[in-house]
Amino acid sequence: MPYVLRQVAVGLAVVLLQWLLSNLRLWDVWPDVVLLYVAYIALRRGRVAGATAGFGAGLAMDLLVMPDVLGLNTVLKTIMGFVIGLFRSEQGDNLRLTPVQAFVGAFVIAVVHNGLLTIVLALDQSTRTPFLVFGLWLGGALYTAVVALVGSLFRR
């Protein structure tokens, strides 16, 4: 199977996994598996592939998981894919992350992503609640980092 078709199939599977995990909430927060996928593609392939994966996966996530904020995930995931792609690994397709690298990296990426998401949602709703900071921003980042840690244990 050509690389592009394989990545589209994997991307759709990741979005479906995101849809399933969005129903597995802890304190009304769910992990962002799509962000982890975009970060992994960006680290392996660079800026263009990261931004492309971010656009496609973010659009699919907007349509399937969060249709009430259509376009927000598309923009944020595209930006994150491009920025993470700036730090492309020289290992390319042979990239293997240790569990500590996966946890810390996912936490940092999710804190930046969720911070931008929190700012946009707070401005949109003209509200400031403790849930936006402790739940959506930091709690979601921690939950995403734990999922990355568990995923890295199975990846090895």
User: What string of pLDDT tens digits covers the 156 residues of the chain?
Assistant: 677 787 778 777 877 777 777 777 777 788 888 899 899 899 888 999 999 999 998 898 888 877 788 889 999 999 999 999 998 877 766 777 888 988 999 999 999 999 998 888 888 777 777 777 777 788 889 989 998 998 888 865
C-alpha angle with apex 100: 45 to 8, nearest 5 degrees? 30
H-helix segments, the chain: 3-21, 33-45, 47-64, 72-85, 99-125, 130, 140-155
Q: What pLDDT score was predicted for residue 155?
A: 67
- Residue 76's nearest CA partner among 104, 39, 22, 103 is 39
| Count of beta carbons in the 10 Å neighbourhood of residue 4 | 9
C-beta of residue 39 within 8 angstroms of C-beta of residue 114 = no
Cα–Cα distance between 130 and 24 in angstroms, integer?
Answer: 21
Whether the Cβ atoms of residue 109 and residue 39 lie closer than 8 Å to each other? yes
